[in-house]
Amino acid sequence: MKRMDRRDLFNGALLGVATAALPHGGSAKETASQRPRRAWSVIDANISLFQWPFRRLPYDEIDQLVGKLRAMQIEQAWAGSYEGVLQRDLAGVNSRLAEACRNQGHGLLVPFGSVNLQLPDWEEDLRRCHEEHRMRGIRLHPNYHGYTLDDPRFERLLALAAERRLLVQLAAALEDRRTQHPKLQVSDVDLAPLPELTRKVPGAKVLVLNYRPSGAVFSRLVAAPRVYFDTARVEATDGVARLVRSAPPDRVVFGTHAPFLIYESALIRVYESELTEAESRAVFEQNAPRLLANDS
């Protein structure tokens, strides 16, 4: 099978991403005809808008982030909101997210609203995401919101999301614990209950974000139905390839966790894994749309 080599990196599917990383790389102001052509499109399933609560990040202004996406020729980016991590007025958070994606996204941004099961009106927030904002999915932060996946409300959320054919993005982590604020130490989400829940709730689709796959829990997640993974926090030079070949490849999507993490690092991590051309196309272009399809 054909693998991506260095020539592919600069002349193939990721040409726009790679050239944006160079000193004289692509610009957000370039027209489509001026930018290098590539073999396929790239969908980023994991970015966030607005400001990270604990420090300023590069590209945490929406126009800057969209400019970065356009310079790197990202065709689509699924956007959650950093405001949804700690704020309690999620109706306002999700309204601002939807408006920002609509008015400042230049057709690139797909909003994923926040739902907090600890709030008394979480079901109404879910309804608004679907019916008012026409969102294709939601994003959850169980560790920051203070519940575990064996909470009965989580199973109910999966069932309601499945009825509405919404993709559930579940952030396993946002920040390494070693760099967290000393007054807000948050462990990664315990994913152990998830495999059984996806078996109990037909139609529920869960994309696990920012997960570092390892051990028995990962094996159980791979064996479970409709559990998917992004590449944002996968480590080691062969990490993405090992994930793709364990998951299997139709259950892995490209995700960057931008702007918290750096786009160029995500590119290098994929390149170092030496995926085949077919595996690369699946991760970058094909798998994400299938997650939003009603029959997947």
Mean pLDDT of all residues in 166-186: 92
Q: Is residue 26 part of a domain?
A: no
Burial tier of 68 (Cβ tally within 10 Å: 0-12, 13-18, 19+):
buried
Q: Is the pLDDT of residue 27 over 80?
A: no
Q: Is residue 158 part of a domain?
A: yes
Local confidence band at 24 (pLDDT 50, 70, 90 cut-offs): very low
| Alpha carbon distance 69, 77 (integer Å) | 8
Q: What is the overall mean pLDDT for the chain? A: 87
Local confidence band at 38 (pLDDT 50, 70, 90 cut-offs): low
| Alpha carbon distance 296, 287 (integer Å) | 10
Number of domains present in the structure of the chain: 1
Local confidence band at 13 (pLDDT 50, 70, 90 cut-offs): very low
Percent over 90 (pLDDT), the chain: 72
Residue 104, number of CB atoms within 10 A of its CB: 15
Residue 254: the pLDDT is: 96
The CATH number of residue 64's host domain is: 3.20.20.140
Q: Is residue 281 part of a domain?
A: yes
Q: Is residue 133 part of a domain?
A: yes
| Alpha carbon distance 120, 143 (integer Å) | 18
In single-letter form, the type of residue at position 258 comes to: A
Q: Is residue 82 part of a domain?
A: yes
Residues 30, 24 contacting (CB under 8 angstroms): no
Residues 243, 264 contacting (CB under 8 angstroms): no
Q: Is residue 263 part of a domain?
A: yes
Residue 277, number of CB atoms within 10 A of its CB: 16
Residues 47, 58 contacting (CB under 8 angstroms): no
Residue 26: the pLDDT is: 40
DSSP-derived 3-state class of residue 200: helix
Q: Is residue 37 part of a domain?
A: no
Residue 295: the pLDDT is: 55
Residue-range definition of the domain harbouring residue 270: 6-18+43-292
